[in-house]
A and B are shown apart, each in its own frame.
Chain A
């Protein structure tokens, strides 16, 4: 039978490699091909999966639109070894003035408790309130100097203190963009001009759940990855998708747990296919499904 030669794309630029944590160190990026197309170029690092945890759960879970499997720090540290993931993604939702307005000292204490129970590297998200994020994220960054964590998110409004966070405490940064390539490039450039190295940056294009904006976020993620591979140095960065929480705030997931698991799992796999290098997830079963998929797709010789 005749061998048909696959058409191979020639990419000019490699995606930057970002290293998270110290021991273990999780690496993302450094690929020179689209996801899973390892015959077009090297893909040295696997997509990483992060387990979503809240600092404190929003009071009244069902009212908050969240099912029982969601974790607070206190819940996680009861059985830390039962959870499988490459990273922990911690959302500091309670520090918002409209939530518990938790003082920074309490957050630091909570975090220290958490850190003792796991060696996985941390992704730490602020609450979106400028003053509280500045206060708490900087304090936490200082407290964890040397740990090489990933802090988020950088927007056009908080460039100054987030750049300081990276430069003074040597952590990595998540660049947030409202599904906009141009803003992503601008923030990356601004950070670069402040002295932050491109291999300390990850882009968060904003995530839509399946049925609730996934296609648009998918296309933006893909466009960013293509632009990077085609030579846009400031967009040749690893990307993150936050799939867990939003997948469970859907009508479909609220109806039945199995639906929710598939909803979350499919969303995650779609983002990985689009180019996300890290996906944050919540349900252990959805995480297990994705870890399985990840390994199967990688063994595929194309």
Chain B
């Protein structure tokens, strides 16, 4: 399970404050804490507050984080120019978060991925929005897959996101997401990587952590290979560890919560 830590995001007020005050230490501590808790990669997002200087903020965030760690960074922004600003500053290969199946965006971001030798997260939606049924999502996934592989992007570098809808508005669609994850496995050989932004499932809910970790085990069983989540949620990380044993992905040992 490839874990991307979500905490360096301007939607968190403390992060926005740190960006405004150029507080490097806060960002660096947050980066290291997430890695210590088990993150393999860090999502970097300026958030909604810095629309005009998003590229400058992205540069500052990336440069700040790479001072303390070499883990691959996940450059998170809707605008390709801002993404490129982040990619330029990265030391090693990064992950682009994200494109959709919408043609112009998919073109631009696939080009960036090839140019900077990065991986690409692709959401199975387009200008028409999020497809409501499994087959349409699978069809969009196929579109994305064939476009990117034609352009020369290896399946190893593609993360498909089947899109989670929140429990409080689409509880009847959650099982569909699991089914979609299962379907995506057979789209190519080797199978493409499958990612979700876990916190979306509990958006606006009262009991977010338990909703997140329960869905996580279901998604793991369905074949999830990567996830954007809060690694500082200790119970979530313990749940993932436990699920790995139950799914025979790792050898169990009795004291696994102590070690």
Chain A CB within 8 A of B251 CB: yes
What are the interface flags for B221-259 relative to A under an 8 Å C-beta threshold, 1 for contact and 0 otherwise?
A: 000000000000000000000000000001111110001
Contact partner of A190 among B250, B251, B252, B259, CB < 8 A?
B259
A5 to chain B, nearest CB (A): 20
CA distance A186 to B259 in the complex (A): 8
CA distance A181 to B253 in the complex (A): 8
A186-212 residues at the B interface, CB under 8 angstroms: 186, 189-190, 193
Q: Which residue of A lies closest to B249 (CB)?
A: A231
Residues from chain A with a CB closer than 8 A to the CB of B253 are: 182-183, 185-186, 189
- Interface residues of chain B: helix, strand, loop or mixed (majority): loop
Residues from chain B with a CB closer than 8 A to the CB of A190 are: 255, 259
A205-261 residues at the B interface, CB under 8 angstroms: 227, 232, 235
Residues from chain A with a CB closer than 8 A to the CB of B250 are: 232
CA distance A190 to B250 in the complex (A): 17
CA distance A227 to B251 in the complex (A): 8
Contact partner of B254 among A183, A193, A232, CB < 8 A?
A183
CA distance A160 to B111 in the complex (A): 56
CA distance A232 to B249 in the complex (A): 10
CA distance A232 to B245 in the complex (A): 12
B93 to chain A, nearest CB (A): 20
CA distance A112 to B255 in the complex (A): 40
A36 to chain B, nearest CB (A): 25
Residues from chain B with a CB closer than 8 A to the CB of A183 are: 253-254
B251 to chain A, nearest CB (A): 5
Question: Across the interface, do A235 and B251 meet the contact criterion of CB distance under 8 Å?
Answer: yes
Tell me which of B251, B254, B255 has the highest count of chain A C-beta atoms within 10 A of its own C-beta: B251
Q: Which residue of A lies closest to B250 (CB)?
A: A232
Residues on B lying within 8 angstroms of A by beta carbon are 250-255, 259
Q: List 20 A-B contacts (CB under 8 A).
A: A182-B251, A182-B252, A182-B253, A183-B253, A183-B254, A185-B251, A185-B252, A185-B253, A186-B253, A186-B254, A186-B255, A186-B259, A189-B255, A190-B255, A190-B259, A193-B259, A227-B251, A232-B250, A232-B251, A235-B251
